[in-house]
Structure 1
Amino acid sequence: MTGIRGLSVFISDIRNCQNKEQERLRVDKELGNIRTCFKNEKVLTPYKKKKYVWKMLYIYVLGYDVDFGHMEPVSLISAPKYPEKQVGYIVTSCLLNENHDFLRLAINMVRNDIIGRNETFQCLALTLVGNIGGREFAESLAPDVQKLIISSSCRPLVRKKAVLCLLRLFRKNQDVVNVDGWADRMAQLLDERDLGVLTSAMSLLVALVSNNHEAYRSCLSKCVKILERLARNQDVPQEYTYYGIPSPWLQVKTMRALQYFPTIEDPSTRRSIFEVLQRILMGTDVVKNVNKNNASHAVLFEALSLVMHLDAEKEMMSQCVALLGKFISVREPNIRYLGLENMTRMLMVTDVQDIIKKHQAQIVTSLKDPDISIRRRALDLLYGMCDVSNAKDIVEELLQYLSTSEFAMREELSLKAAILAEKFAPDLSWYVDVILQLIDKAGDFVSDDIWFRVVQFVTNNEDLQPYAAAKAREYLDKPAIHETMVKVSAYILGEYGHLLARRPGCNPRDMFSIIQEKLPTVSISTIPILLSTYAKILMHCRPPDLELQNQIWTVFKKYESCIDVEIQQRAVEYFELSKKGAALADVLAEMPKFPERQSSLIKKAEDAEDTADQSAIKLRAQQQPSNALVLADPQPVNGRPPPVKVPSMSGSLDNELAAQPHSHPNGTLSKLEPQAPSADLLNDLLGPLAIEAPPGGMPTDDDHDTIGAEGILDTAIVPVGEQTHTVEPIGNIAERFHALCLKDSGVLYEDPYIQIGVKAEWRGHHGRLVLFLGNKSTSPLTSVHALILPPVHLKMELSLVPETIPPRAQVQCPVEVMNIRPSRDVAVLDFSYKFGTNMVSVKLRLPAVLTKFLQPIQLTAEEFFPQWRSLSGPPLKLQEVIRGVRQFPLPEMANMFNNFRVTICPGLDPNPNNLVASTTFYSESTRAMLCLVRVETDPADRTQLRITVASEDPTLTFELKEYIKEQLIVVPSGRAPTPALPAPVPGPVAQPLSPAVAENDPGALLTGLL
Structure 2
Amino acid sequence: MSLRLRELIRSVRSCKTAAEERAVIAKECATIRTAFKENDVQYRHRNVAKLLFIHMLGYPTHFGQMECLKLIAATTFPEKRIGYLGLMLMLDERQEVLMLVTNSLKNDLCHKNQYIAGLALCALGNIASAEMARDLAPEVEKLMSNSHAYVRKKAALCTIRIMKKVPELTETFYEAASRLIRDRHHGVLVGAMQLILDICLTNGPSAIAEFRSKVPDLVRIMKSLVLSGFTPDHDIGGLTDPFLQVKTLRLLRILGQGDATASDQMSDILAQVATNVEGNKNAGNAVLYECVQTIMGVESIGGLRVLAINILGRFLSNRDNNIRYVALNMLAKVVAVDTQAVQRHRSTIVDCVKDSDVSIRRRALDLVYALVNASNITTLTKELLEYLMVSDVEFKPDLTNKICALVQRFAPDKRWHIDTLIQVMDQAGGYVKDEQSRALIVLISNAPELQPYTVRRLYSVLTQSHPQRALLIVGVWCLGEYGDMLLLDGLLEDEEPVAATEASVVRLLETLLKEPMEETLIKEMLLTCTVKLSSRFPNSSPQIKAILEQYQGSISLEVQQRACEYSRLFVHEAIRPALLENMPPLNEDLTASGRANISMEGGSVDAPESPVAAATSPIPAAISPSGQVPPTQPASPQLVDLLDMNVVDEPAAPAMNAPAPAVDLLADLLGDGVAPPAPMPAAGTYPPPTSPLSAPSPADWTDISPALHVHSSALD
Aligned length: 588
Counterpart in the other structure of 2:422? 436
Counterpart in the other structure of 1:400? 386
In 1, Cα distance between equivalents of 2:213 and 2:254 = 13
Q: 1:176 to 1:271 in 2, by over 3 A?
A: closer
Superposed displacement of residue 669, structure 1: 1.8
In 2, Cα distance between equivalents of 1:201 and 1:579 = 93
Instruction: Map residues 185-584 of structure 1 onto 2, 5 A cutoff.
Output: 186-216=177-207, 217-233=209-225, 239-261=233-255, 263-267=257-261, 269-287=262-280, 293-331=281-319, 334-350=322-338, 353-502=339-488, 510-519=504-513, 521=515, 523-525=517-519, 527-542=520-535, 546-554=541-549, 556-559=551-554, 561-562=555-556, 582=575
Superposed displacement of residue 4, structure 1: 9.1
Instruction: Map residues 626-775 of structure 1 onto 2, 5 A cutoff.
Output: 631-632=592-593, 642=595, 667=617, 669-671=619-621
Equivalent position amino acid for 1:328 in 2 = L
> Conserved in 2, the CA contact under 8 Å of 1:528 and 1:570?
no
In 1, Cα distance between equivalents of 2:578 and 2:124 = 80
Superposed displacement of residue 283, structure 1: 0.2
In 2, Cα distance between equivalents of 1:506 and 1:153 = 92
Counterpart in the other structure of 2:157? 164
In 2, Cα distance between equivalents of 1:153 and 1:262 = 28
Q: 1:91 to 1:520 in 2, by over 3 A?
A: farther
Deviation per CA, 1:376-420: give whole Å up to 9, x if none. Answer: 444444333322222212211111122223334333322332233
Superposed displacement of residue 576, structure 1: 7.0
Q: Which runs of 5+ in 1 are unaligned?
A: 288-292, 598-629, 633-640, 648-662, 674-1010
In 1, Cα distance between equivalents of 2:47 and 2:295 = 56
Deviation per CA, 1:107-134: give whole Å up to 9, x if none. Answer: 441564146423545433443453455x
In 2, Cα distance between equivalents of 1:241 and 1:50 = 39
Superposed displacement of residue 55, structure 1: 3.7
> Conserved in 1, the CA contact under 8 Å of 2:125 and 2:161?
yes
> Conserved in 1, the CA contact under 8 Å of 2:190 and 2:244?
yes
Say which SS state the counterpart of residue 590 (structure 1) adopts: coil
Q: 1:402 to 1:535 in 2, by over 3 A?
A: closer
Say which SS state the counterpart of residue 464 (structure 2) adopts: coil
Q: 1:587 to 1:511 in 2, by over 3 A?
A: closer
Counterpart in the other structure of 1:710? none
Q: 1:187 to 1:471 in 2, by over 3 A?
A: farther
Equivalent position amino acid for 2:27 in 1 = N
> Conserved in 1, the CA contact under 8 Å of 2:312 and 2:327?
yes
In 1, Cα distance between equivalents of 2:50 and 2:570 = 86
Superposed displacement of residue 453, structure 1: 3.5
TM-score scaled to structure 1, two decimals?
0.52
> Conserved in 1, the CA contact under 8 Å of 2:215 and 2:265?
no
Superposed displacement of residue 211, structure 1: 4.8
Q: 1:577 to 1:72 in 2, by over 3 A?
A: farther
> Conserved in 1, the CA contact under 8 Å of 2:211 and 2:255?
no
In 2, Cα distance between equivalents of 1:75 and 1:399 = 70
> Conserved in 2, the CA contact under 8 Å of 1:329 and 1:336?
yes
Q: 1:406 to 1:59 in 2, by over 3 A?
A: farther
Q: 1:165 to 1:453 in 2, by over 3 A?
A: farther
Q: 1:455 to 1:36 in 2, by over 3 A?
A: farther
Superposed displacement of residue 277, structure 1: 0.6
Deviates more, 1:222-231 or 1:363-372: 363-372
> Conserved in 2, the CA contact under 8 Å of 1:486 and 1:518?
no
Instruction: Map residues 583-662 of structure 1 onto 2, 5 A cutoff.
Output: 585-586=578-579, 590=583, 593-596=586-589, 631-632=592-593, 642=595
In 2, Cα distance between equivalents of 1:240 and 1:283 = 18
Q: 1:320 to 1:568 in 2, by over 3 A?
A: same
Equivalent position amino acid for 1:642 in 2 = R
Counterpart in the other structure of 2:167? 176
Deviation per CA, 1:855-880: give whole Å up to 9, x if none. Answer: xxxxxxxxxxxxxxxxxxxxxxxxxx
In 1, Cα distance between equivalents of 2:621 and 2:92 = 62
Say which SS state the counterpart of residue 232 (structure 1) adopts: helix
Deviation per CA, 1:569-617: give whole Å up to 9, x if none. Answer: 76677677787663685598626534537xxxxxxxxxxxxxxxxxxxx
TM-score scaled to structure 2, two decimals?
0.70
Higher relative strand content: 1
> Conserved in 1, the CA contact under 8 Å of 2:313 and 2:327?
yes
Matched-pair identity in %: 24
Q: 1:394 to 1:313 in 2, by over 3 A?
A: same
Say which SS state the counterpart of residue 86 (structure 1) adopts: helix
In 2, Cα distance between equivalents of 1:580 and 1:53 = 100
Superposed displacement of residue 329, structure 1: 3.7
In 1, Cα distance between equivalents of 2:439 and 2:91 = 56
In 1, Cα distance between equivalents of 2:425 and 2:106 = 68
Equivalent position amino acid for 2:4 in 1 = G
In 2, Cα distance between equivalents of 1:335 and 1:202 = 25
In 1, Cα distance between equivalents of 2:571 and 2:151 = 94
Q: 1:585 to 1:87 in 2, by over 3 A?
A: farther
Superposed displacement of residue 477, structure 1: 0.9
In 2, Cα distance between equivalents of 1:208 and 1:446 = 51
Superposed displacement of residue 300, structure 1: 1.3
In 1, Cα distance between equivalents of 2:561 and 2:67 = 78
In 2, Cα distance between equivalents of 1:485 and 1:128 = 68
Q: Larger C-alpha radius of gyration, 1 or 2?
A: 2
Say which SS state the counterpart of residue 414 (structure 1) adopts: helix
Higher relative helix content: 2
Q: 1:197 to 1:547 in 2, by over 3 A?
A: same
Deviation per CA, 1:697-727: give whole Å up to 9, x if none. Answer: xxxxxxxxxxxxxxxxxxxxxxxxxxxxxxx
Q: 1:58 to 1:439 in 2, by over 3 A?
A: farther
> Conserved in 2, the CA contact under 8 Å of 1:89 and 1:128?
yes
Q: Which runs of 5+ in 2 are unaligned?
A: 490-497, 601-611, 624-716
Deviation per CA, 1:606-653: give whole Å up to 9, x if none. Answer: xxxxxxxxxxxxxxxxxxxxxxxx733xxxxxxxx53699x9xxxxxx
> Conserved in 2, the CA contact under 8 Å of 1:344 and 1:380?
yes
Q: 1:388 to 1:428 in 2, by over 3 A?
A: same
Deviation per CA, 1:167-191: give whole Å up to 9, x if none. Answer: 34545x5x52456555555445544
Aligned with residue 30 of structure 2, among 28, 36, 49: 36
Q: 1:12 to 1:494 in 2, by over 3 A?
A: same
> Conserved in 1, the CA contact under 8 Å of 2:335 and 2:370?
yes
> Conserved in 2, the CA contact under 8 Å of 1:263 and 1:309?
yes
Equivalent position amino acid for 2:376 in 1 = N
> Conserved in 2, the CA contact under 8 Å of 1:97 and 1:132?
yes
Equivalent position amino acid for 1:294 in 2 = N
Query: How well do the aligned residues superpose, as a CA RMSD in angstroms?
Result: 4.0
Q: 1:532 to 1:11 in 2, by over 3 A?
A: same
Equivalent position amino acid for 1:547 in 2 = P
Say which SS state the counterpart of residue 595 (structure 2) adopts: coil
> Conserved in 2, the CA contact under 8 Å of 1:123 and 1:161?
yes
Q: Is 2:140 aligned against 1:148? A: yes
Counterpart in the other structure of 2:85? 90
